[in-house]
Amino acid sequence: MIINMNEGATEDEIQHVIERVREAGFQAHVTRGTERCIVAAVGSGGKRHELEALAAAGGVAEVVPIAQPFKLVSRQVKPHRSVIEVGDVKIGDGSFAVIAGPCSVESRQQIFSTAQAVKAAGARLLRGGAYKPRTSPYDFQGLGVEALRLLSEVRKQVGLPVVTEVMSTEDAELIAEHADMLQVGARNMQNFALLRRLATVSKPVLLKRGPSATVKEWLLAAEYLLAGGNPKVVLCERGIKTFETETRNTLDLAAVALARELSHLPVMVDPSHGTGRRTLIAPTSRAAAALGADGIIVEVHPCPERALSDGAQSLDFRGFRDLMQSLAEPMRAVSIPQLRMDKAAAKS
C-alpha cells in the first residue's frame, strides 16, 4: 500500500500516519517529494484493512493498493492453467468446450429433443434452467424440482453432463445431487452467502461475471470459492451493462483474455446473454475461439418463438448446427498461435 499525503499535510499528520502503519504491522518507508510526501507500507504480515482506513486520517489524499487483492485464483500462485472436469468433459485443457441448451427446462419433450440435437451437432455439455432469476415476479420462474428430475433423466439417457443455475443456499444440496456443474448467475456473482455455500459442495461451479463487475471483482468472487475449499471453478464472461442499447449487454472479450492472463482458471463466454441478438452469436463465438477462450455456453431451443424465456436470443437446432460448423475452422486454427502468444504474454 502507498499512502499518498495531501500537498498541505503537516509534519504531525505525516508522523501520525507513520505510526499507524507500524501499528498495523508494516514498515513505513517515507519519500518526501517537492510537493507531496508518500508513505509506503512494506511487508506482508500486517493488517491491510488498517492501512485502508488511513484514507480517513488527517492529511491523507488517498491510499493506493499495490499488490493484486486475489491470491488463490492468481497465475502468480499457480502458473499452470487449471483443467476442470465436469462429468467426463474437461474444460481448460486446450479444447473448446461448447455448453448448449434451453434457457429454461420447459417440458420433457423440449429438453430431450434439445439435448439430442445439440449433442449431434457437437455440444459437450447441456444447459437448462430449473430455477430462473427473472427481473419481474410475474415472469416464468422455472419448473424447479420437476426440471431437476428431467435434467437427471436426460443426462443419463442422452449422455451429456448437465449445468444448471443455483439461486439460493437452500437449494444448493438438491441441485448438486442432480447436476454436474452449478452455475452462479451474473446477478448473484456477489451473493457472498451463496458463494460460501458453493465453496463446500463437491461439484464444479460456473461463475458468471456480474453485469457491473470489474475483472478484479470477478476474480475475487472466484477467490471466495477457492478460499472456501472448492477449486473447481470456471469463469464465464456474459456481457456488462453499458450505455449501448442495440445489444442486450456489451460482451467484454478483452476481459476474457485478461482473466486468462491474471488467473489460471478456465474462462468461457456466453454470447447469448452477451449480445442478446441471434445474428451476433456466431461472429462473437468465433471471436471467443480465436481469442483463446475455453469454450462457450449458448442458448438453444426447439422453437425460440415459443420459448418461455430468452426466445429472442436463442438459436434453433439448425442455427446451432450452423454455428458449430462456422466454429470448426477458427477452433483448429487458433490452437497453435494461441499457445505461442500465451507464452509471450506470460513472459512480458
How far apart are CB 21 and a copy of itself at their closest, in Å?
12
Name which of residues 31 to 50 contact a copy of itself (CB under 8 A): 31-36, 38, 40, 42-44, 48-50
| Number of CB atoms found within 10 A of residue 249's CB | 19
How far apart are CB 220 and a copy of itself at their closest, in Å?
5
Q: Which of 11, 109, 137, 202 binds a copy of itself (CB under 8 A)?
A: 137
Name which of residues 226 to 285 contact a copy of itself (CB under 8 A): 227-228, 240-247, 250-255, 257-258, 261, 274-275, 277-280, 282-284
291 is a site residue for a copy of itself (CB under 8 A): yes
Nearer to a copy of itself, 30 or 83 (CB): 30
Mask for 54-83, x = binds a copy of itself (CB under 8 A): xxxx-----xx-xx-xxx----x-------
Q: What would the grid cell of residue 141 be? A: 420462474
**Cell 501499528, residue located:** 23
Nearer to a copy of itself, 11 or 138 (CB): 138
User: 36: Cβ–Cβ under 8 A, 6 or more apart, which residues?
Assistant: 4, 5, 6, 7, 9, 61
Q: Which of 83, 145, 174, 290 binds a copy of itself (CB under 8 A)?
A: 290
Nearer to a copy of itself, 15 or 76 (CB): 76
How far apart are CB 2 and a copy of itself at their closest, in Å?
6
Q: Which of 11, 80, 135, 202 binds a copy of itself (CB under 8 A)?
A: 135
Type of residue at 200: T
Nearer to a copy of itself, 89 or 282 (CB): 282
Q: Which of 10, 120, 146, 340 binds a copy of itself (CB under 8 A)?
A: 340
Name which of residues 82 to 111 contact a copy of itself (CB under 8 A): none
Q: What would the grid cell of residue 183 be? A: 452455475
The answer to whether 61 touches 14, Cβ cutoff 8 Å, is: no
What distance in Å separates the CA atoms of residue 181 and residue 176, rounded to the nearest whole number? 8
SS3 call for 315: strand
Number of residues forming the site for a copy of itself (CB under 8 A): 126
Closest CA to 182 of 137, 135, 144, 233: 233
- Rounded to the nearest 5 percent, the helix, strand and coil shares of the chain are 45, 20, 40
The radius of gyration of the chain from alpha carbons, rounded to an integer in Å, stands at 23
The answer to whether 180 touches 163, Cβ cutoff 8 Å, is: yes
